A and B are shown apart, each in its own frame.
Chain A
Amino acid sequence: MLGNPRRVEHIMGFPISVDIRATTSPLGSAVDHAFDWLREVDARFSPFRADSEVSRLNRAELTPAELSDDFIEVLAVCRRYEERSGGAFSVRLPGRGLDPCAVVKGWAVQRAAEALMDAGARRFCVNAGGDVVAAGGPWRVGIRHPDRIDQLCAVLAVEDAAVATSGRYERGDHILDGRTGEPATGLKSITVVADTLTIADTTATAAFALGADGPEWAAAQPGCEVFAVTENDRVFRSAGLPTG
């Protein structure tokens, strides 16, 4: 029916898996197009590529009037979460210029998932380096143990939802508290379940930047459920967390 229901490609420096279990029509090249879109996003939004829109904006080669609609949409999400988190979440840090990576990934993968839905995919899962969009379901989503790469610390059962995790264990102190410019402290990892990966990923990143107050803050965001592990190995679960 599907030919190749599961595929993994490496884009933006992380593995992206697409796992399709049910579709209403042959998907044809829809999966190819989803991966093409993610490669296009990398080319346009990577601060590590000199010819990306982000890099050109940072070098003042683009005026705000020349920005693409996609870019403006991403910046609007960035601003919303900067405000909501009281500045803890920030995409403008001294010495770095503008780096919207924290928003781009979830936003781009969410859009790829929506394109698969439009093509007929009904029960499928996209996992982009640990951030998940689950369509249909229920899908059993394990949460990686913050200290052990080959172990879990919780299991969720999610249906038509997105799951994103922020933590320090994979790439060191890459999340800074925008209020201080220092690496965020207080949490080992925080996982957010929300309707879209744009919301889940950005909320998880902002909550991690907030540190000890992050879990409560994230749980208070509309439609968000939270699982978090503090630096002292205590586990926070929001009341509506969909446990598996």
Chain B
Amino acid sequence: MYYFDHCASTPPLPEVIRTMAEVMAEHYANPSSLHRGGAEAAKLLERARAVIAGAFGTEAGEWFFTSGGTESNNLAVVGAARQYRSRGNHLITSAVEHPSVLEPFRMLEREGFRVTYLPVDGCGVVSPEAVEAALTDETTLVSVMHVNNEVGSVQPLAAIGSLLHRRPRTLFHVDGVQSIGKLPVRLREWGVDLLAASAHKVGGPRGIGLLYKREGVRLAPLMGGGGQEGGVRPGTENVPAIVAAAKAFRLAVESQKQRAGRMYRLRGKLLACVAAIPELVLNGGGSADDPAGTGGSEEKEPAAAPHIVHFSYPGMKPEVFVHMLEKHRILASTKSACSSKDDKPSAVLEAMGADRERAASGIRISFGDEHGDAELEWLCGMLGQVVKKLKPLERKMNE
């Protein structure tokens, strides 16, 4: 199989699986128990926290374990909005956020909060000026993702962070699920107050996520329980998954730079091959000569993530395309895996100004460390063949 769906999930690293199994076998005591077994399990948690904090240049006390990216995003958005409601009622996010961010905002709207959904440009990027214009004295939270999970656009977090730096009463939440291990995540430098991450996007176990909460920030918890994780996220901690996740995150952050270089090169190759197929339209930033979309500047932050190529085949149902690729042992996806089973056009593509046909026919290729030139060439060849086969079947989506 050629697995090109890394945005949805990544193959767990062998050393992560080994760690998880060993910890699971040896440390089954409840970390909240008073006895030695509990104390040892609790120490493993703290060491895992310290390892993660070290990887991101932060303090151990700023990291909390959750059940995954969705819970981290929910806890950050809802927890912050409710906690600081006495300061104000207005929240800002972007139109291209992941459902685990958008849905909590819709929930908050039903609770009476006012939410501004910022537009994006044709590449899927939010402008810092739009953030600035939307800010009011009532704004308590700005939530902008780092890398878009569908098209891979990269948001200008440094610029947004510096805007918010002058407004200590407005918190800055970042959904970092798709960016960790792919791009540098500079929490301190950007002034990030809250960040969500998910271990299975970096070769870690499923069902475990991270929430970064800058020291001093408070959150209203979503769950009531035994007071674990400082009461922010009660519930018995999943010790083996947490230890394995710490390893996965550390490895991902340590190898990020080297990975990005390699992947941008592969991305450029794939962009060139998609561009050569006239039926396909590329979505998102970057080009074959400039896969990072920096225009050759070394200082400029990239506009496109290194591991995602997204295109539309207007006139074709994307699931047909996906299944055709699958016949050739290639696994790709339509939009985000979380919402790929509904057949509505992509809200992200619509927000980027795509017409309905283009928005309803998106294909996402996302790759990882196991891919090299050979795999990319195989994929390119197959894309051409599949398009050739499907061409006679092209029809309007609405027929």
A binds B: no
